[in-house]
Amino acid sequence: SGDANDFQVHIIVKSVPQSQTRAKSFRSLDFFETEINFYNKVWPQLDAFQKSKKLPELFDSIPLCLATFADGKTDFIALEDLSYQGFKALERSLGLDLDAALFTLKYFAKFHAIAVAYREQHPDEFKKMDEELKETYFDEKFRGWYHGTMDKLCTVIKDAAEKELPPSYLEKIEHIFSQDLYGNISLSLKKRTGLTAITHGDCWPPNFLIQEQDGSKKLALIDFQLSR
């Protein structure tokens, strides 16, 4: 209309399933609580921390959260829609080649570095922030939900290793899987060390968006429902 007050807002909204049965079956509310806490209570602190350091380059690969709501029935998260900036989702079936994996790891290294530095300089605040992210997957109280799935995945992984990798890899994989894998992972996630960081928790191609412009590439991280 030419009105000087006209503007566009690019927003994407994710919400829990309308079916309460489905939401309970998939524990959707638990995952939404984690993601809402990440956007409202965790990332704002980490972002403010990095900005306070006057860094020459900021880590800005997490979309802006515009609003959240949680009542246990109609929970939603409204985020900046990055597609208008040219970001596109990676196809889950293609996976990541070595170059793409290394490119992705650089972004996670920057993300983790902020949390490690924050923990070093503000240990009490970090502890409170850490407590906002409840473990939603690897905890003994969830073993019944996931151990069957993990057993099936182990079978698939061993089959792939046997067909695609040298025997030495299969031996190591079988050694790991012969133990209580779920329990060992659960225990490891409870440990806190000098390098403890806030992590994404669900790192696979559908949770990355990539922007390719003028010969350069940029990555964005989405879906923090398993953040820990």
Give the type of residue at 201.
Answer: G
Q: Cα angle vertex 217, ends 220, 53, to 5°? A: 60
What distance in Å separates the CA atoms of residue 120 and residue 111, rounded to the nearest whole number?
15
Q: Are residues 125 and 214 in the same domain?
A: yes
Q: Are residues 5 and 93 in the same domain?
A: yes
Does the structure show a pLDDT above 60 at 1? no
Write down the number of H helices and E strands in the chain.
8, 6
Q: Are residues 47 and 119 in the same domain?
A: yes
Q: Are residues 43 and 149 in the same domain?
A: no
**Residues spanned by the domain of 211:** 1-133+200-228
Q: Are residues 82 and 170 in the same domain?
A: no
Q: Are residues 123 and 24 in the same domain?
A: yes
Counted domains in the chain? 2
pLDDT digits (tens, 9 = 90+) for 203-225: 888 899 999 888 889 999 999 99
Q: Are residues 58 and 147 in the same domain?
A: no
Q: Are residues 183 and 207 in the same domain?
A: no
Percent of the chain with pLDDT over 90: 68
- Give me the pLDDT at residue 4, please: 67
Q: Cα angle vertex 225, ends 223, 228, to 5°? A: 115
Q: Are residues 6 and 88 in the same domain?
A: yes
- Give me the pLDDT at residue 76, please: 94
7-16, 96-105, 107-116, 204-213: which has the highest mean pLDDT? Answer: 107-116
Q: Are residues 109 and 39 in the same domain?
A: yes
What distance in Å separates the CA atoms of residue 200 and residue 111, rounded to the nearest whole number?
9
226 secondary structure, DSSP code: T
Coil, helix or strand for 223?
coil
- Residue entry with tokens 């566009």: 8
pLDDT digits (tens, 9 = 90+) for 14-53: 999 888 888 888 888 999 999 999 999 999 999 999 999 9
Q: Are residues 88 and 109 in the same domain?
A: yes
Q: Are residues 41 and 72 in the same domain?
A: yes
